Structure 1
Amino acid sequence: MTLDQFRHVADRGLSPFVRVADALGLSPDGVSVVAFLFAVAAGVAFGIAEPIWYVAGSVLVLLNGWLDLVDGALAREQGVASSGGDLLDHVLDRYADIVILVGLAAGIERYGLGLAAVTGVLMTSYLGTQIQAVGIGREYGGLLGRADRLALVGIVGVVAAVVPGALVADYGVVALLLGLLAVVGHLTALQRFWGAWSDID
């Protein structure tokens, strides 16, 4: 998929948020840290696994994703885009992915499924950067980008809140989400590896 294809549409709505962040004296790195704190709060909310907390987690995930766009736009607006800022953003994004997925897994006590989802997401990201490191170029291909994952988490959080105990084929919606992220993540990582390996040959 991916929602990343529509990033230019989202960029049009960033200006007011960029102006507010700039007026508040926030740096792009500061916005990245705030976005990460929202992700941590989302993980805690999902871990509580009560309807109202699932809704809160979904809202916090949305805020994390939105601020992840704002930090880059703010860096361009302030003319301070840098490799250091990009590194910090990527590191915090990965930790954000971890705390959100761990929170979801803890809430339903499915830690093995959570581990599979976390490793799938991290391997997808790792293969993208490792391919770049060996000089082939950054690889963003795959079935689910980060924006897609966050959107799915937000939707599932609301479903889990509105229909507590919602089941699909005897599996809860949160468990199904973690399973999907695990399978798609590892398939995407293998897809990226195979594509890069073919380019090397």
Structure 2
Amino acid sequence: MTLDRLRHVAEIALDPMVAAADRVGLTPDGVSVIAFGFAVAAAGGFYLATPVSYVLGAFCVLANGWLDLLDGALARTQNAESRGGDLLDHVLDRYADIVLVVGLAAGIGRYDLGLLAVTGVLMTSYLGTQIQAVGLGREYGGLVGRADRLALIGVVAVVAAVVPEPVGPLSAVGWLLVFFTVIGHLTAFQRFWGAWHDLS
């Protein structure tokens, strides 16, 4: 179930945005910083936890995801790919993941679920880059990748705006955090297990 496998398709659709960004003089690093700004704005909306702020947060998450694709495509167009840019992109992506989960957890007052969820999210991403570090290439596969997480956050934020009441013991956001906890660690293990066998 990973949308990360469709990354190349999405990048084709980004061509007009890449051309526009290049015309106005944006740099890949600048786009990465703007993308992170949208993640922070989304987290703020989730913290407020009102119907309007949840919907605005969902739009900000969508913008973060698109801009995360745009920075890499723009770097290739401008022949500006660099290890520094790649480092900045990955660091800001991880901080974006953290602030989004923290915003969701703070909005419903469930910091315990937030802690469990953010460790699952971070371990998924860590395994992706660690597999690359041992020479196996960047790993985007698994049960849930970053694109999937962003899509789920956006959808659940809209659901939370429409259905604020709990569904059983938890709200829609609470169930999402539980999902990230379980699936995040399972995805990290899946990535580890596949890489371990490739190295054996």
TM range (shorter): over 0.9
Question: What is the CA–CA distance in structure 2 between the aligned matches of 1:131 and 1:64, rounded to whole Å?
Answer: 25
Give the residue type in structure 2 aligned to 1:63: A
Question: What is the CA–CA distance in structure 2 between the aligned matches of 1:71 and 1:113, rounded to whole Å?
Answer: 31
- Give, in angstroms, the shift of residue 186 of structure 1: 0.6
> Which residue matches 2:125?
125
Alignment of 1:4-153 (within 5 A): 4-153=4-153
> Which residue matches 1:169?
168
- Give, in angstroms, the shift of residue 168 of structure 1: 2.9
- Give, in angstroms, the shift of residue 163 of structure 1: 1.7
**Is 1:184 paired with 2:183?**
yes
Q: Normalising by structure 2, what TM-score?
A: 0.95
| Cα offsets for 1:83-140 (capped at 9, x unmatched) | 1111111110000000000000000000010011111011111112222223343332
Paired residues, number: 200
Q: Is the 8 A contact 2:5 2:141 kept in 1?
A: no
- Give, in angstroms, the shift of residue 21 of structure 1: 1.1
- Secondary structure of 1:141's aligned partner: coil
> Which residue matches 1:200?
199
State the percentage of identical aligned residues: 69
Q: Normalising by structure 1, what TM-score?
A: 0.94
Change (3 A) 1:191 1:93: same
Question: What is the CA–CA distance in structure 1 between the aligned matches of 2:198 and 2:7, rounded to whole Å?
Answer: 28
- Secondary structure of 2:175's aligned partner: helix
Question: What is the CA–CA distance in structure 2 between the aligned matches of 1:71 and 1:137, rounded to whole Å?
Answer: 20
Tell me which moved more, 4-13 or 181-190: 4-13
> Which residue matches 1:3?
3
- Give, in angstroms, the shift of residue 82 of structure 1: 1.3
Tell me which moved more, 100-109 or 135-144: 135-144
